[in-house]
Amino acid sequence: MESKVIADKSLGDITAEDTRVRFVGKVEKIDDIGMFDVSEGDKKVTCLPPVSVKPNIGKGDFVLVTGRVALGDSKEDFEVRTDSVRKISGEERDNYNKYLKIRSELLNNGS
């Protein structure tokens, strides 16, 4: 595992330039090998689980994903190679988004 700092982000703020990220979203689809798409608002990203580890999630679940951003076919295109995926409640998702908002306000005000 890389020793880079994990950046807490909303899914819409992740770019191909990011290295390691943590974000929340809703599982839109999952295939037989465990590859899944996560969305939040109008942003969607494909997530790849570690080899031979199918995550215990299903379509419609809210998840907390930690992983490494990997470049796709273009600069705007990327996928996330997951280190961990955890099913969370709607309340946990809301709390994470509140945390991101408060942290952003504090950083923008020089705190």
Q: What is the pLDDT along the chain (111 residues), one digit of tens a residue?
A: 455 789 999 999 998 889 999 999 999 999 988 899 999 989 999 999 987 778 899 999 999 999 999 987 766 679 999 999 999 999 999 999 999 999 988 888 765
Q: What is the pTM of this model?
A: 0.87
User: Are the beta carbons of 62 and 96 closer than 8 angstroms?
Assistant: no
Measured CA to CA, the distance from residue 110 to residue 105 in angstroms comes to: 9
Give the domains, in start order, of the chain with CATH numbers.
7-108 (2.40.50.140)
Alpha helices in 1-111 (DSSP H): 90-108
